[in-house]
Structure 1
Amino acid sequence: MIAGRNICSWLLKGKHGIGALLCCVFLFNSCVIDSDKKILFFAHSLPTTHPVHKGIVAMKESVEKKSNGKLVVKIFPDGQLGTEREVLELLQIGSIAMTKVSAASMSNFAPAYQVTSIPYLFRDREHLFKVLEGEVGKELLESSSAYLLRGLCFYDAGARSFYAKKKPVKTPQDLDGMKIRTMNDEMSVNMVNTLGGSATPMAYGELYTALQQNVVDGAENNIPSFVTSNHYEVCKYYTFDEHTMVPDVVVIGTKFWNTLSTQEQQWLQDAANESVIKQKQYWQETVAENMEVLKKANVEFLYPDKTKFSAKASGVMEKMMQDEKMKTVIEKILAQ
């Protein structure tokens, strides 16, 4: 059903040593399933304490209940099977079934997703989900099917803001000369460089050490990720500039999707849609809890004049609107 051998080959090519060998044994055994069951391996890079992981668990429980155990989801968190890009590639070749990635990562495979990373495009959380759960969101999810990746739903990933180790970021000018870790996508890099920082793309799992060793001076992310990654132990300045609201995307490889019956596809889609409601709730609860954690850790919160940031970042949107297709989508979003 799912080619465990493909994962093993990829891991061993990466020279991950005995860990890879043990993982191969585990995955190969996991693929020995009953004829009346289909197992969906779901890999992602977040820890189990993260609200997005909790949303995935809610989806798992829902689809297993709806299918009466005919569809079983096995979750591999914490980047066990690779980075977001590596896992998306595994989906494309059919080695695993599903993942959760940032829409920014999806844009490396399906360019239409770039629109979600445009700074200050979304007015607030309500506007974001009005767009994502409407016509534009549906078109985005469907756009990646051409690249063997089918979007099922969007999860709340909050607003991304800057955090720094050595000095607070109060204005865009404070970013001058600062090496800021970004996701490995063109839009994120352009956004940081436009605001005056020096964008430094790197894998999320490498960031804690990079901050400790001064390889980078700061990063940008949402509050739950700032806490679950323990980056607040190193960075004591968090600036609520909220430059982007990049959602997460639940994705299934089309190679696996096409092995499902129409009924099984409906069970999975319905479970994904239902999990969105719970995930949003988990997100809000987690943010409130995390703010208390950060206060106790003496993290300094800064609430800058966002208009200074949005004005300096406006060139990113203007450049994107030079593409007629992208311009049409942006205008649809702004009109909502």
Structure 2
Amino acid sequence: MYMQVYKSLMRKIVVVFGVLACLGLYSCSEITDHKTLFFAHSLPVTHPVHKGILAMQEALHKKSGGKLQIKIFPDGQLGTEREVLELLQIGSVAMTKVSAASMSSFSPEYRVLGVPYLFRDSEHMFRVLEGPVGKELLEGGSEYLLRGLCFYDAGSRSFYTLDGFIKTPEDLKGKKIRVMNDQMAVNMVNDLGGSATPMAYGELYTALQQRVVDGAENNVPSFVTSNHYEVCKFYTLDQHSMVPDVVVVGTKFWDTLNDEEKAWLQDAADDSVKKQKIYWQETVEEGMEILEKANVQIYNPDKSPFIEKTKSILEELNKDPKMKKIIDQINNQ
């Protein structure tokens, strides 16, 4: 208990320090002739998304001649995805990387990206994300003080479990499956017959060890870097969703930049996308090798029963004219 209080206190101290540091930096920016962007995210430094952020950091430094610099706070140092998004909204932190599912709690249009089996494959997904639909979603977040800069590859999410494969939706009956704190993810697991259990990602390893939950769902790199494969030896590649990550800048910070600085930042983000895709694919291949050596069993199921069981989610979303318009655009890509 005391350790939890201590950690909470230290986190608040770090955030306050960050706010003061930002204020101090801006006040002396005329002397130092540079601005530092605080970039917080929840992933470990070994993750391919973090490597993409490092690529952005390097690109921004080069493009701006050092006038704009990024300081990265990984591993949830400044809070959960939701907490950091709230820090962006008040201007305490400049940037973050979150799941599109987390963004949907702030900018509702992002919900469409969580629809099960929405994308035919990764090529289809990036045609959408790097086209008019993606641009509309990214810029639409500005209404909620959260401007998207680009999308990162987060692969496809699949089920991993303690006992046996999920060969069909029937295999989920009676199983408690950890999901993100996102209503669509909850609905998906429940529609498939499981018992969706929202839980903080950092609590999941212990929950699996103690059998508080029977399994979870995520992409290969996260399954590996979290070490969840140490306790879950069954990985079913049903690929039920392709929810991308989003690089977000708070409009409180964005509005302090001039046009040239905004162009530097956007260009650096766009450049990093290309490298992040490569890092992602490399990490997936490495991860599959790690899983094989760890005796994790892999199963590729027939996806059609999963698609049939979850189609009501798409049907419900189509009742909203704005959502239907986006879905139709995605289907026509």
Q: TM-score, normalised by structure 1?
A: 0.93
Q: State yes or no: 1:121 paired with 2:112.
A: no
Structure 1 partner of 2:184: 187
The answer (yes or no) to whether the contact 2:18–2:92 under 8 Å persists in 1 is: no
Aligned match of 2:241: 244
Cα gap change, 1:20/1:319 in structure 2, threshold over 3 Å: closer, same or farther?
Answer: closer
Q: Which amino acid aligns with 2:225?
A: T
Contact persistence 2:11–2:79 (CA under 8 A)? no
Q: Secondary structure at the match of 1:331?
A: helix
Following TM superposition, by how much is the alpha carbon of 1:197 offset from its aligned partner in structure 2, in angstroms? 0.9
Give deviations 1:161-216, integer Å, cap 9, x for gaps. 01101222111100011111111111111111111111111111111111111111
- Residues 1:227 and 2:224 are matched in the alignment: yes
Sort the Cα spacing of 1:28 and 1:312 in 2 relative to 1 into closer, same or farther, 3 A. closer
Corresponding position of 2:14: 23
Aligned match of 1:308:
305
CA drift at 1:17? 5.4
Encode CA deviations 1:93-112: one digit per residue, 9 max, x unaligned: 11100000000000000000
Q: Match for 1:168 among 145, 149, 165?
A: 165
Report the 3-state secondary structure (helix = DSSP H, G, I; strand = E; otherwise coil) of the residue aligned with 2:167: coil
For structure 1, list consecutive stretches of 5 or more residues without a partner in the other structure.
1-13
Q: Does 1:199 align with 2:196?
A: yes
* Structure 2 partner of 1:71: 68
SS of 2:128's equivalent in the other structure is: helix
Map 1:27-106 → 2, pairs under 5 A: 27=18, 30-31=21-22, 32-33=24-25, 34-35=28-29, 36-106=33-103
**Paired residue secondary structure (1:122):** coil
Identity of aligned residues (%): 68
Aligned amino acid, residue 122 of structure 2:
R
CA distance in 2, matches of 1:136, 1:309: 26
Aligned to 1:214: 211
More off after superposition, 53-62 vs 197-206: 197-206
2:129 corresponds to 1:109:
no
The Cα shift of 1:148 comes to 0.4
Distance (whole Å) between structure 2 residues aligned to residue 209 and residue 106 of structure 1: 27
- Paired letter, 2:10: G
Q: After TM superposition, give the deviation of residue 247 of structure 1 in Å.
A: 0.2
What whole-Å deviation, never above 9, does each CA across 1:267-324 have from its counterpart, x for those lacking one?
0000000000000000001100110000000000010001111111111111111111
1:85 Cα deviation (Å)? Answer: 0.5
CA distance, structure 1, for counterparts of residue 252 and residue 20 of structure 2: 21
State the match for 1:264 in structure 2.
Answer: 261
Q: Which residue of 2 aligns with 1:5?
A: none
Aligned length: 323
**Structure 2 gaps, min length 5:** none
Q: Residues of 1 paired with 2:319 and 2:330: CA distance?
A: 16
CA distance in 2, matches of 1:74, 1:322: 43
- Work out the CA distance in 2 between the residues paired with 1:144 and 1:88: 11
> Are residues 1:157 and 2:154 paired?
yes
1:328 maps to 2:325: yes
* Pair 28,85 (structure 1): closer, same or farther in 2 beyond 3 Å: closer
Partner of 1:99: helix, strand, or coil?
A: strand
Query: Aligned residue for 1:178?
Result: 175
Within the candidate set 105, 108, 130, 1:133 is matched to 130
- In the alignment, the residues of structure 2 paired with residue 215 and residue 321 of structure 1 have an alpha-carbon distance, to the nearest angstrom, of 35
Structure 1 vs Structure 2 CA RMSD: 1.5
Counterpart CA distance in 1 for 2:297 and 2:15 is: 44
The amino acid across from 2:239 in the alignment is E
Moved >4 Å (runs of 4+): none
Distance (whole Å) between structure 1 residues aligned to residue 248 and residue 57 of structure 2: 14
The CA deviation at 1:30 is: 4.3
